[in-house]
Structure 1
């Protein structure tokens, strides 16, 4: 079995691969705001901040990533001006949709922006490895907590987060989004960050 290695940041030259991986994981949720897919992937590839992700590599190939938001910078930038540049002025209606996914962390938090794992590499524990690496990043930056939000139509992701020590703190019901975005509730989960240097089980 090929060894999986982790690295901080998206490797140079793999931005499009990272964007395709991210879109495969989150395209259903982001599709109403960013479709068509070919434009969405280009937008994601050119708007990502490579230093706001941890990646999993197998035989040198990108097979997983977890983005995060820290110190005001997220994995995907996507300013309103950038959206209009890609989609034109008629795409202004996309802006309020994208605003629904905006999260502002508290000063003591690092926000994790989802995990994407290549289908052929699932079941190898890559999601758990990525989570622990994000927690390590949070510890290095003296954050006390990692926060994430998971939608009600992704129970597998929620089960993974719970296994890795996240607990639900609140659920926001959004039935009006069911027809538009495909989900009707968002649960915020927190995990405490151990002090720097502490061992993680």
Structure 2
């Protein structure tokens, strides 16, 4: 008989605000894995795209789930006109060159979202494939709600594309409600999706209280 293999237990994820220094490449890889289909037309090739994302992260606009010290999931949010992913027109032109960079700017502008007064905008959520199905997405969403509460926001807003039904199901389980869907057939061949649904989750002081109790 073969000796029984010992399974190392996975520790519970630790939720932390802020992208840890030194984990930029990991976070960029997770973000690209989740949104590369959407961002590809603007930032491809993949290796250059991941490097661009890593170089222009706003560390204070991310929430991470750490498992054994490694980032297993990340959620970004936008407040005060700053989100997890940064990089302006000048950065794009510097990274890709003027000739190749200029056509990318309108594509990036199509994906730009601004928060209304009293609103926190989600800037994407990504969980490593080996850690999916373990509740990490829900933990990140609860922390996002707590951040919104602490900044006196009345709601959290996000957009989900039609080819990502798993993400929409996650959002719905955590209180997000679809408020409108914009059909974008002109983007299907370019970015791989044909509709974008905007979802809202009301924010109440209970969100912060639930987070404190969970600690």
TM-score of the aligned structures, taking structure 1 as reference length: 0.97
State the 1:3 CA deviation.
Answer: 1.4
1:42-61 map, 5 Å: 42-61=51-70
Counterpart of 1:173 in structure 2 is 183
Which of 170, 188, 211 is matched with 1:160 structurally?
170
Q: Distance in 1 between matches of 2:190 and 2:210?
A: 43
Counterpart of 1:15 in structure 2 is 24
Counterpart of 1:149 in structure 2 is 159
Q: Distance in 2 between matches of 1:88 and 1:40?
A: 14
Which of 14, 21, 31 is matched with 1:5 structurally?
14
Q: Distance in 2 between matches of 1:12 and 1:47?
A: 13
- Which deviations, in whole Å up to 9, do the C-alpha atoms of 1:78-127 show, x marking residues without a partner? 20111001000012000000111101111110000111000000010000
Q: 1:187 and 2:197 equivalent? A: yes
State the 1:2 CA deviation.
Answer: 1.6
Counterpart of 2:46 in structure 1 is 37
Counterpart of 1:89 in structure 2 is 98
Q: Distance in 1 between matches of 2:81 and 2:64?
A: 20
Find the residue that maps to 1:28 and give its secondary structure: helix
RMSD: 1.2
Q: Distance in 2 between matches of 1:199 and 1:63?
A: 22
Find the residue that maps to 2:126 and give its secondary structure: strand
Q: 1:25 and 2:25 equivalent? A: no
Gaps of 5+ in 1: none
* Structure whose alpha-carbon radius of gyration is higher: 2
Which of 103, 109, 117 is matched with 2:113 structurally?
103
1:127-142 map, 5 Å: 127-142=137-152
Gaps of 5+ in 2: 1-9
Find the residue that maps to 2:198 and give its secondary structure: strand
State the 1:198 CA deviation.
Answer: 3.8
